[in-house]
Amino acid sequence: MSRSPAPTRRHERGASLIELMIALVVLSLGILAVAQLFPAGTRSQVSDRMLTSGNYYAQDKIETLNHLPWSDTQLTDGRHPPGIATEACGTSGRWLRFYEVTSLAAPLDNLKKVTVTVKWTYMGARQVQSTTYLRR
């Protein structure tokens, strides 16, 4: 029996260990960059939810005041509650609300301007204002 000669090695192609390590580093950097987007998205979502709630509390107060008679004490000129006091909104009390009433001069003396301000703190002090005009 004759033995076949040992196979000769052809020029083998493949990835070296260094090439694999470089690819893993590049892939890891890409994954880390994408992973940083998730906390930013969550912060943005919470901030938008707080803004939506602030708008809701402002609109809620406007609708309440809109149904009051013209001579009601809640529609007297000035800040309500007076001074620097505020009323807490929501179950957590994070939103603080007050409103100001201003009677307009003639010929618009049948109108009152009502501005409701809602303040809260999330990543800094924030506030939203809604204004409406009530007619006699």
Instruction: Give me the residue spans of the domains in the chain.
Output: 49-135
pLDDT, residue 15, reads: 74
CA distance 88 to 96: 5
pLDDT, residue 4, reads: 64
Contacts of the segment 79-83: beta carbons below 8 A, 24+ positions apart: none
C-beta of residue 78 within 8 angstroms of C-beta of residue 101: yes
First to last CA, the chain: 118
Grade residue 11 by pLDDT with cuts at 50, 70 and 90.
low
C-beta of residue 123 within 8 angstroms of C-beta of residue 43: yes
pLDDT, residue 52, reads: 94
- CATH of region 49-135, choose from 3.90.320, 1.20.950, 1.20.1630, 3.30.1300: 3.30.1300
Grade residue 100 by pLDDT with cuts at 50, 70 and 90.
very high
37-59 average pLDDT score = 90
pLDDT tens, 50-95?
A: 999 999 999 999 999 999 999 999 999 999 999 999 999 988 889 9
Grade residue 8 by pLDDT with cuts at 50, 70 and 90.
low
Q: Assess whether pLDDT exceeds 80 at residue 9.
A: no
Instruction: Write down the mean pLDDT value for the chain.
Output: 89
pLDDT, residue 66, reads: 94
pLDDT, residue 36, reads: 84
Token pair of 127 as six digits: 């506030």
CA distance 88 to 82: 14
pLDDT, residue 26, reads: 93
